[in-house]
Structure 1
Amino acid sequence: MTVDELFVRQPMTWGLRGDPRVWEEMRKRLCGRELPADFFAARRLFEKTFAEIVGIDLKGTVGEGDNVYRKELSTGSGISDGTVSLHFWKFTGLPILVDRWAAAVGE
């Protein structure tokens, strides 16, 4: 199994319209990469990849309304087009990926 396989099933809900674009971009960047060996390596990989795409480090305090607009993530539709929910990624998106990693490696 490779890291991109953890992205096959998308979350049932998103924070904002830019979130699915981040999910897809992360999947593409991690395509073919072997699963990290331990929890901390997996978490760092997902956090680093997110930060490279969005330009934001999620290590600090993140509130429910915290978001960032990235033109390169826009599709041209919707009021929150190109806007990424930092709260969604810190408390839902990245934890989903870490949980999937743990299930895949039997941890």
Structure 2
Amino acid sequence: MNITTLYKTLTLALALLVSTGPMGCKKDDNKSKKADGVVLDFGNIKADGCGWVIRIDQIDYSPQNLDEAFKQDNLNVTLTYDQLATRFQCGLAANIGLPQIKVNDIRQVNKDPHRAE
């Protein structure tokens, strides 16, 4: 093997290693998350509202599949969800959209009025 062939082989191997390296360390963004949140009514979509959202850690999410039983304004919930790569475009957030989630499990949380937040 001459020096030119060796150099080309090493360059190709290094390029492949660099380009595939990040794939092996990719974070699993599709892992389900568990959190406490609040269901909020952001108004009728037909009237430029954003419909039902769930606020988790000061971020408003548009749930793709919120069950009718949980469509109550200011309802405290605990949920397991998957964050989706899509955003919901609506009147209040037309320019940026709301991040979407898929609700896997949701339960109402009864807040104790005597407990400090």
Q: Same fold (TM over 0.5)?
A: no
Please, what TM-score do these two structures have when normalized by structure 1?
0.26
Larger radius of gyration: 2
**Higher-RCO chain (CA-CA 8 Å, sequence separation at least 6):** 1
- Specify which structure has the higher proportion of helix: 1
- Specify which structure has the higher proportion of strand: 2
